[in-house]
Structure 1
Amino acid sequence: MKPTGIIIALALFVGITLPLFLSNTAPSPQITTIRIAISTTPLSAPLIIAKQQGLFNRHNVNVELQPLPGGHLCFDAMINGDVDLATSSESVVMFNSFTRQDFRLLASFAESDNDLKLLTLHTDKNRNIAQLKHKKVGIVKASASEFFTDSLFIVTGQEDIEFKKIYMSAQALGPALLAKEVDAIAVWEPYGYRLFEQAGEDIYQYPSKGTYNLSFNLVSNEINSSLHFEQHVNILKALNEAQAFIIQSPELAKQIVSDYLNMSMAAVEWSWNDYIFRLSLNNSLLSMLQTQARWAVASEAVSKQPLPDFRLYLNDAALVKAINH
């Protein structure tokens, strides 16, 4: 073969084989894993379904869920850098807004007007909430549990009733009530169901449906809201599809949530019809945050200070892009 022919042949060989060699030896691009702390409640259903049904993968985002027993703990994990996103009630957002500005609320994805319950031991005299005067009420500090309790006293015309707030974890509330260490507890699901399942007719629930409309939200720290913007958009797209799945296949959706949370179907169904799953970030949430902040100052749940400007905390950019694209 002539030298020119050899050179051409070598060039063709290198041109064909070098890309194949590089493709086999070059490191693959790293896919960022977004860690989300989710509260172990059926309110987290859209995130659970999106994960279990592969909806996050469909939108090219790798998500790792980290279950924790309460939105306040999820929020703390996010602030501490243990996770990138957190689920929490707007009450947790409100309380934290008095002490920090380094987080952003990306979207609400669930609502309920009956998730919080005020429970006591069943006696005839305890049917009137006024009987809790000077009594001990178990509450999860700086959470929806605290705001809900005060709201219920106000709505029932008992705002002047004095009672003692006993702060403890959500898991400890039920056992404390049964041990008569407190006289009533304000607790969210699934802890309310578990208490009824355990003690049955010994438990009385004060009527409260509609007293407080809880929203469950996806929260990011301020840096990640910019750094992982596109991932957040894709996560919200997946949640939007998960909510459609809940509407189209409710029984399968409940089964997925039951399996993931290791809860009985009865426990999931206990509160399922009280939930509304939809993506939003609107003025009603802003109004609720402002209302709760005024309550927090007036009730001295926080030190007296100017109210936060909650418009700074609501960042709907990812939500708008997720819904419109």
Structure 2
Amino acid sequence: MKAKGIVLLVLVVMGLLSINWWGGKAPATEPPIKLKIATSTTPLSAPLIIARELELFKPYNLDIELIPLRGGHLCFQAMIQGVADLATSSETVIMFNGFQRSDFRLLASFVESDNDLKLLTLNDEQPKSITQLSDKKIGMVKASSSEFFADAFLIISGHQQQDFQKVFMSPQALGPALLAGDVDAISVWEPFGYKLIEEHGDTIYQYPGKGIYNLSFNLVTSAVNARLHEKQHADILRALKSAQNFINQHPQSAKQIISDYLDISLSELEWAWNDYVFRLSLNNSLISNLHAQARWAIASGAVDAQTTPDFRLLLDDSALKQALDN
């Protein structure tokens, strides 16, 4: 037994020596690249959540941390401040920030919805008309899709001449403000609208607004990171594409994952799920939407500017082209 052990040891040593003799090495495993994504705690972030929970980033040697925040406006700030490397954001947040800075890039849209924003008021059992909001207080989140939707609702419904007072607050404060009578109506995104209606039922009235505003949810990063991490961004988008395929092929499993991650009920998730279109894109319709919202922001006095930014300079499709190139 001892002789066999010695022979085996000699063979192992000779093997190691031969590796060194030929200059070979056991392949070293590169540590994964760590990136942080500020992620809005809404079902709109579903592809990112699915990709993270199913470890779809791992094949690309990426260690992705999702930083949950309540709203794309906070996610954008986290990215600009360096707390996160990338962020999720609606195009309205991008539009507002485009007036102030040009040091960020929009990499891709990954989901769209024409029914994510809600205009809600208290139900006093009287017939409802949008004209009743004239000279009233409407709660909304400043420099976000919430603010744009309130104005867009009135414009598209033919009541743009109405004068109302904008009351700015955090999204989580909108519902309590409405119930307390501090505001007469609120413009709020999901899942806050659902929670308010679910908890207070017929006390809440929802103005019919499906199709008034087509929201896109996007992935943004700094201009510097767009240059330094183009390959990693392409891989992130590839993982999102895989996540979107999973959502389309296994909708019930996908919804369960989102429900568990966001700690919301499946019934709450179902409330808006069918309004979502999951796909990667970066097209002219987004540019047109950004310019239309910018013109609104100038005309309404939401920004102190006379000309719209050239949003085409903020779009970087380099990573997207790689991700979609099969």
Quote the residue 1:219 is aligned against: 220
Aligned ranges for residues 1-325 of structure 1 at < 5 Å? 14-16=17-19, 29-125=30-126, 127-325=128-326
Gaps of 5+ in 2: 1-12
Gaps of 5+ in 1: 1-9
Aligned in 2, Cα 1:61/1:126: closer, same or farther, shift over 3 Å? farther
Quote the residue 2:5 is aligned against: none
> Once superposed, what is the RMSD of the aligned Cα atoms?
2.0
Cα deviations across residues 108-158 of structure 1 (Å, max 9, x unaligned)? Answer: 000000000000001244610110111100000000001111000011111
Alpha-carbon distance in 1 for matches of 2:21, 2:268: 59
More displaced stretch, 116-125 vs 169-178: 116-125
Confirm or deny: 8 A CA contact 1:106 1:217 kept in the other structure.
Answer: yes
Cα deviations across residues 48-85 of structure 1 (Å, max 9, x unaligned)? Answer: 00111111112322111111000000000000000000
Confirm or deny: 8 A CA contact 1:36 1:65 kept in the other structure.
Answer: yes
Alpha-carbon distance in 2 for matches of 1:96, 1:16: 57
Q: Which amino acid aligns with 1:306?
A: T
Q: Which amino acid aligns with 1:72?
A: H
**Alignment partner of 1:218: what SS?**
strand
Alpha-carbon distance in 1 for matches of 2:16, 2:123: 85
Alpha-carbon distance in 1 for matches of 2:211, 2:122: 22
How far 1:30 moved relative to its partner? 3.9
How far 1:215 moved relative to its partner? 0.3
TM-score by length of 1: 0.92
- Paired residues in the alignment total 314
How far 1:13 moved relative to its partner? 6.3
**Alignment partner of 2:87: what SS?**
strand
- After the TM superposition, which parts of structure 1 deviate over 6 Å for at least 4 consecutive aligned residues? 10-13, 17-20
**Alignment partner of 1:279: what SS?**
strand
Alpha-carbon distance in 1 for matches of 2:127, 2:153: 15
Quote the residue 2:10 is aligned against: none
**Alignment partner of 2:287: what SS?**
helix
Confirm or deny: 8 A CA contact 1:60 1:234 kept in the other structure.
Answer: no
Confirm or deny: 8 A CA contact 2:32 2:61 kept in the other structure.
Answer: no
Aligned in 2, Cα 1:23/1:208: closer, same or farther, shift over 3 Å? same
How far 1:226 moved relative to its partner? 1.0
Alpha-carbon distance in 2 for matches of 1:219, 1:190: 22
How far 1:304 moved relative to its partner? 2.3
How far 1:279 moved relative to its partner? 0.3
Alpha-carbon distance in 1 for matches of 2:246, 2:149: 30
Alpha-carbon distance in 1 for matches of 2:48, 2:16: 50
How far 1:11 moved relative to its partner? 9.5
Aligned in 2, Cα 1:13/1:141: closer, same or farther, shift over 3 Å? closer
Aligned in 2, Cα 1:12/1:62: closer, same or farther, shift over 3 Å? closer
TM-score by length of 2: 0.92
Q: Which amino acid aligns with 1:303?
A: D
Percentage identity across paired residues of the two chains:
59
More displaced stretch, 59-68 vs 268-277: 59-68
Aligned in 2, Cα 1:11/1:276: closer, same or farther, shift over 3 Å? closer
Confirm or deny: 8 A CA contact 1:120 1:205 kept in the other structure.
Answer: yes
Q: Which amino acid aligns with 2:138?
A: V
